[in-house]
Amino acid sequence: MNRIEDILKTSRMVLNAWKNTIGIYLGIAIFLSAYIVFSIRPFINMGNTTHSGITLPNIIFIFILGITGFYEEFSVAGSMNINRRVYFTAHTFSLFIVVIFLSIVDMFSSHLLELLSGVSFYHTAELIFQIRPDDLIILPFIAAIYLFAATSGWLIRMLYYRANKLQKMLLSLSPVILLFLLRLLDFGFISEQLRHTDIIPGFFVYLLNDLNILMSSILFFSIVLVNLFLCYLLIRRAPVA
Amino acid sequence: MNLIELSDISKQFGKTKAIDKVSITFAPNKIHGLLGRNGAGKTTLLNIINNRIFPDQGTVKIGGSSVKNDEQILRNVFYMTEKNLYPESYSLKELLNLCKDFYPTTDLSCANNLAEKFKLNMKQKIGGLSSGYLSIFKAIMALSSNALILILDEPVSGLDANHRELLYREILASYAAKAQTIIISTHLIEEIATLLEEVAIINNGKILLQEPVESLLQKAWIVAGEKSKVRRFTESMRTLRTTPIGQREETLLFGQIDNEQLQTGKDIGLEFARASLQKIFIGLTDNMEANHE
Amino acid sequence: MFFPQDNEKPIYLQLASAVEDDILSGIFKEDEQIISTTELSIALRINPATANKAINLLVDQGLLYKKRGLGMFVTPGASDKILSRRKELFKDDFVLPLLKEARKISLPAEQIIEIIMKEGCIDESD
């Protein structure tokens, strides 16, 4: 019973638990994607019909998987006296696997649809960075974004798991409180020009760093590492039931 | 060795001291009873042993290794919790296969045999089981895991009388077949008494005693007879519980009585009987000890 | 095998006694294997250590012997040994308490003997 074996077995358990959700989602997402693409096919000659694939839905899906994919799996692992550090590694590893899988599906399904339908495909990344379709650079970028979404979801769930009643309430209200605080900006307390609608998009613009897709990937990945580190700190003293 | 050692364990929940400076060891290859009233701290203590929750102070060691630091040591322990940790959507078969994954010594055919004996349909999901059958399934997993240490928290919770008897026998069969340490926590004392080799009684977060059942049973007597005679006889002894019945009185004594004293008592017309484990437990935990002036 | 509880004696002594009874009554015959301690503990729902203690006691008394790999067997002559030991203990375990009770209720010795004669002791077939 050595550590690596345990991590792999736990990952297998986690991925097994997630496979249905992922399968159903992909089934629907790809079907809808194909449906939309083939619906706009007749309008190709009218110019400027493009599709950008399932990237955005993937981001939302994996964010939600980050939130919902922790509790039951951790409970089962805990019930079999799996060490928390081992579980953390396995959970992280599983997220990586899913992210890589979704990245490949993202690219692959889009190119396939393009081939089948003739509708042009411009990946979301291409639209942002204005680069030529070059899979090798886009793949790490979307992987980094997916990981960012996944680990952010996981972190939110971990905070919730460790929180007491009061903290839970504050956590639920935090988006509202945050927006409220941002709105205060609009009264000109800090800066005459800065509006609340500038902050959050501005944050992402910074991350997207439209000069360099590689730099952007690195920035997102750094946040992933921070998220994972925080999740690790939170899982260390997490009670099992 | 698989000695389970708790040193100076304390745990507080808010203002309540759930576990109060507990130091106790569970010797390997015995069936131990952890007896306590509802809310005495049994589950909290077991959760701490299995590193499910963390003590405010103190350490838990199994076979010399700290449970907090050693990642592998708890893999030798199968902990059957009272609370259900298995998601409702999981099938029984799936969970057994997971058990086999994480406890390589698991015997799946043994599990299927036990399922048959208990008439448990393995083709179900956790969500479809009644509370009694959920307990049965958890117990079957525990017994089939063949882990070196089994910790069973209220294993017969929700089981009807027939199933309880069956489970007790299966626990004995499992224990007799291999070297295994078993800790059973329960508040159903009389049923479990004959299975136990050693017993620990926990009350209000403190361990009242821990000793072999046999020696404990030698230490308790019920003395009955005319009130004044009983009182005189038990004057300098520790009495736990006194029940007056008219002019008669029945007292539960905790202490040794040698043959001479026994004879003396019988000669003056007192009746003596051994107290059952349950009576001893109730006497010790009822906080009703009488003080003789 | 009758197994009463709530006695003054610890369980392992009660069990040893019950096995002796079965040897006496011929349920366990000489040089024949008796029920294993595992089966005993499961059937009677007691801890195997207790069952072992009872059996070991009987081994120490020379009533049982162990055959490696097979189990416990009844020693030849065990029945007689048990009989003679019980006959010795008969006075202390049964007669003295009887006399004590008789004294309590003021029953004279002659009446006791009368009752004994009427009820008969043992069948002459032993």
Measured CA to CA in angstroms, residue B99 lies from A18, A97, B125 at distances of 19, 24, 15
Indicate yes or no: CB of B102 within 8 angstroms of CB of A82.
yes
Residue B176 touches chain C, beta carbons under 8 Å: yes
Say how far apart CA B181 and CA B31 lie, in whole Å.
6
Measured CA to CA in angstroms, residue B257 lies from A120, A177, B134, B221, B272 at distances of 97, 72, 46, 8, 10
B62 and B167 share a domain? Answer: yes
Is the pTM higher than 0.80? The answer reads yes
Per the prediction, chain A carries an average pLDDT of: 87
Question: Nearest-CA residue of chain A relative to B68?
Answer: A83
What is the least distance, in Å, from the CA of B94 to any CA of chain C?
A: 31
Query: Domain end: B191, B215, B239, which one?
Result: B215
Contact B276, C6 (CB under 8 A): yes
Q: Tens digit of pLDDT for each residue in B195-214?
A: 999 999 999 999 999 999 99
Those residues whose C-beta lies under 8 Å from the C-beta of residue B276, and which sit 6 or more positions away, are B190, B193, C6
Is A201 among the domain residues?
A: no
Say how far apart CA C20 and CA A175 lie, in whole Å.
79
Indicate yes or no: CB of B172 within 8 angstroms of CB of C48.
yes
Question: Nearest-CA residue of chain A relative to B71?
Answer: A83
Is B96 among the domain residues?
A: yes
According to DSSP, the residues that pair with C65 across neighbouring strands are C73
Question: For the range A22-26, what are the long-range contacts, defined as Cβ-Cβ under 8 Å and sequence gap of 24 or more?
Answer: A22/A65, A22/A98, A22/A101, A25/A61, A26/A105
Instruction: Determine the average pLDDT of the residues in A213-225.
Output: 89
At C7 the pLDDT is: 61
Indicate yes or no: CB of B169 within 8 angstroms of CB of C42.
yes
Please report the residues numbered 10 through 39 in chain B whose beta carbons come closer than 8 angstroms to any beta carbon of chain C: 30-31
Least confident of B137-141, B183-187, B228-232, B289-293: B289-293
B156 and B14 share a domain? Answer: yes
B239 and B149 share a domain? Answer: no
Other C-beta atoms closer than 10 Å to the C-beta of C30 total 14
β-pair type (B149-153, B77-80): parallel
Query: Which residues does chain B have within 8 Å of residue C54's beta carbon, measured at their own beta carbons?
Result: none
Rg (CA), chain A: 20
Least confident of A89-93, B189-193, B227-231, B279-283: B227-231
Residue A141, judged by CB atoms within 10 A of its CB (0-12, 13-18, 19+), counts as buried
Instruction: Determine the average pLDDT of the residues in A203-223.
Output: 81
B72 and B204 share a domain? Answer: yes
CA C72 to chain centre: 17
Least confident of A64-73, B239-248, C117-126: C117-126
Say how far apart CA A216 and CA A140 lie, in whole Å.
10
B156 and B191 share a domain? Answer: yes
Query: Domain end: B171, B192, B215, which one?
Result: B215
What is the least distance, in Å, from the CA of A75 to any CA of chain B?
A: 6
Say how far apart CA A223 and CA A125 lie, in whole Å.
19
Q: Tens digit of pLDDT for each residue in C60-114?
A: 998 999 888 888 999 888 888 888 888 888 888 888 888 888 888 888 888 888 8
Which structure tokens are listed for B152? 């069973």
B199 and B264 share a domain? Answer: no
β-pair type (B271-274, B220-226): antiparallel
Highest mean pLDDT among A83-87, A170-174, C79-83: A83-87
Is B293 among the domain residues?
A: no
φ, ψ at A81 (rounded to 5°): 55, 35
Looking at the predicted structure, is the pLDDT value of residue B235 above 60?
Answer: yes
Residue B190 touches chain C, beta carbons under 8 Å: no
Say how far apart CA B200 and CA B188 lie, in whole Å.
14
Say how far apart CA B218 and CA B211 lie, in whole Å.
11
Count of domains forming chain B: 2
Is A41 among the domain residues?
A: yes
Count of domains forming chain A: 1
Q: Crossing angle, helix B161-177 and helix B131-145, to 10 degrees?
A: 10
Fold of C11-78: Arc Repressor Mutant, subunit A (1.10.10)
DSSP string, chain A: --HHHHHHHHHHHHHHHHHHHHHHHHHHHHHHHHHHHHHHGGGGGGS--EE-TTHHHHHHHHHHHHHHSSHHHHHHHHHTT--HHHHHHHHHHHHHHHHHHHHHHHHHHHHHHHHHH--EE--HHHHHH-----HHHHHHHHHHHHHHHHHHHHHHHHHHHH--HHHHHHHHHHHHHHHHHHHHHTTTSS-SS--HHHHHHHHHHHHH-TT-HHHHHHHHHHHHHHHHHHHHHHHHT----
B201 and B226 share a domain? Answer: no
Say how far apart CA A57 and CA A22 lie, in whole Å.
12
Sign of the alpha-carbon dihedral angle for B172, B173, B179, B183 = negative
What is the least distance, in Å, from the CA of B78 to any CA of chain A?
A: 7
Query: Which residues does chain B have within 8 Å of residue C36's beta carbon, measured at their own beta carbons?
Result: none
Residue B289 banded pLDDT, cuts 50, 70, 90: very low
Residue B197 touches chain C, beta carbons under 8 Å: yes
Looking at the predicted structure, is the pLDDT value of residue B176 above 90?
Answer: yes
Is A59 among the domain residues?
A: yes
In a 3-state reduction of DSSP, which class is residue C26? coil
According to DSSP, the residues that pair with A51 across neighbouring strands are A121
Is A241 among the domain residues?
A: no
Q: Tens digit of pLDDT for each residue in B10-23?
A: 999 989 999 999 99
At C3 the pLDDT is: 61
Indicate yes or no: CB of B176 within 8 angstroms of CB of C38.
yes
Question: Nearest-CA residue of chain B relative to A85?
Answer: B71
β-pair type (B149-153, B181-186): parallel
- Note down the domain range covering B265: 218-285
Looking at the predicted structure, is the pLDDT value of residue B292 above 50?
Answer: no
Strand order in the sheet with B198-203: B77-80, B149-153, B181-186, B31-36, B198-203, B206-212
At C4 the pLDDT is: 55
- Note down the domain range covering A115: 3-137
Residue A131 banded pLDDT, cuts 50, 70, 90: low
Looking at the predicted structure, is the pLDDT value of residue C6 above 60?
Answer: no
Query: Which residues does chain B have within 8 Å of residue A79's beta carbon, measured at their own beta carbons?
Result: 79, 81, 85-86
Is A124 among the domain residues?
A: yes
Contact B191, B168 (CB under 8 A): yes
Instruction: Determine the average pLDDT of the residues in B139-164.
Output: 96
Give the count of Cβ contacts less than 8 A between chain B and C: 48
Report which of B142, B138, B46 is spatially closest to residue B92, judged by C-alpha positions.
Answer: B138
Residue A144 banded pLDDT, cuts 50, 70, 90: very high
Is B290 among the domain residues?
A: no
Say if C and A touch: at least 3 Cβ pairs within 8 Å: no
Query: Which residues does chain C have within 8 Å of residue B195's beta carbon, measured at their own beta carbons?
Result: 45-47
Those residues whose C-beta lies under 8 Å from the C-beta of residue B171, and which sit 6 or more positions away, are B31, B143, B152, B155, B182, B184, B195
Looking at the predicted structure, is the pLDDT value of residue B263 above 90?
Answer: no
Report which of B210, B240, B207, B206 is spatially closest to residue B223, judged by C-alpha positions.
Answer: B240
B198 and B266 share a domain? Answer: no
For residue B119, the domain's CATH number is 3.40.50.300
Query: Which residues does chain B have within 8 Å of residue A161's beta carbon, measured at their own beta carbons?
Result: none
What is the least distance, in Å, from the CA of C77 to any CA of chain B?
A: 30
Is A23 among the domain residues?
A: yes
- What ipTM describes this predicted complex? 0.90
